[in-house]
Amino acid sequence: MKIYLVSTPIGNYDDITLRALNTLKNSDLIVCEEYREARRLLSNYKIEKPLLSLNEHNEKETAEEIVANIKNGKVVSVISDCGTPLFSEPGHYLIEICIADKIQIIPIPGAVSIIPALIASGLDIEKFYYYGWLSPKKEVRKQELVKLKTLDELIILLDTPYRLKNLIESIIMVFGKNVPLVLAYQLTQKDEMFFRGDAEYILSKVIKQNLKGEFVLLLNNRSKRYKYKRSSTL
């Protein structure tokens, strides 16, 4: 018995792997987060399979149904709306009960946002601290950033597109306007851009260009900082 965790593109549909395509084509059931996003993705590759939505609201009951399908001999794959399943996504409970039932977990690697953000940042990336998503609550987010300020690290942050401006404003409040940032914006898509500079400069670009797309934000809180000119590149 097996379950496949299939990574899908984060933006550019050409970034899917041959192994991922073959796995999805050979699946009897594909578990997704949102039906609309899954149908759009799969139709691009001309794949038609039964779908079952698993999200934060129905995970426990749906997980039991998925396991039952696997035990009945179905080939089941899990995808997220984009990128790597379970990475800041629902599905952890499903994997827990699969392991408990001795179902083999098979990850199908592929696109993930933080690696391209790191390698194109221009920063020393041999070591970094992945924090991910901050709290959407202003005061809690501030407390989280205060704790992060004690780390002498390159810190990776994620958030929803509509909170980009608020996130940088919170960073300026805690770290100051001169802390170096790299904003990796709309990775792999036609409007992909990298903004490099201090927090004040990055915030000005976000406001001026009304940036509201997917992003990865790198915050260089190292005491020994790489110096670079303010810039934005396609």
Residue at 76: amino acid letter: V
- Picking from 40, 85, 91, the residue whose alpha carbon sits closest to that of residue 66 is 91
CB 197 within 8 A of CB 230: yes
Query: Which residues, listed in sequence order, are joined to residue 51 by a DSSP beta bridge?
Result: 30
220 φ, ψ to 5°? -90, 95
Range of the domain at 62: 2-108
Q: Does 72 share its domain with 133? A: no
- C-beta separation of 128 from 156 below 8 A: yes
DSSP 62-120: HHHHHHHHHHTT--EEE--SSBSTTTTSS-HHHHHHHHHTTPEEEEE----SHHHHHHT
Compute the average pLDDT of residues 166-173: 96
- Check: CB of residue 181 under 8 Å from CB of residue 194: no
Whether the pLDDT of residue 47 is over 60: the answer is yes
Q: Max CA-CA distance within the chain? A: 59
Q: How far does Cα 53 stand from its chain's mean position? A: 19
According to the model, what pLDDT value does residue 227 have? Answer: 54
Q: Which two tokens stand for residue 145?
A: 């950033």
| Same domain, residue pair 78 and 131 | no
Same domain assignment for residues 40 and 86: yes
Confidence of residue 89 (pLDDT cuts 50, 70, 90): confident
Give percent above pLDDT 90 in the chain.
Answer: 87
What is the C-alpha to C-alpha distance for residues 121 and 184, in angstroms, rounded to an integer? Answer: 8
What's the pLDDT score for residue 147?
A: 97
Whether residues 147 and 220 share a domain: the answer is yes
The confidence score (pLDDT) of residue 184 equals: 98
Mean pLDDT across the stretch 93-116?
Answer: 95
- Enter the tokens of residue 213: 């797309």
Place of tokens 């998503």: 133
User: 165 and 207, same structural domain?
Assistant: yes
Sort residue 102 into left (φ over 0), alpha (ψ -120 to 50) or beta: left
- What's the mean pLDDT when you consider all of the chain? 93
Whole-number pLDDT of residue 100 = 96
| Domain count across the chain | 2
With cut-offs at 50, 70 and 90, classify the pLDDT of residue 74. Answer: very high
* CATH code of the domain in which 174 resides: 3.30.950.10
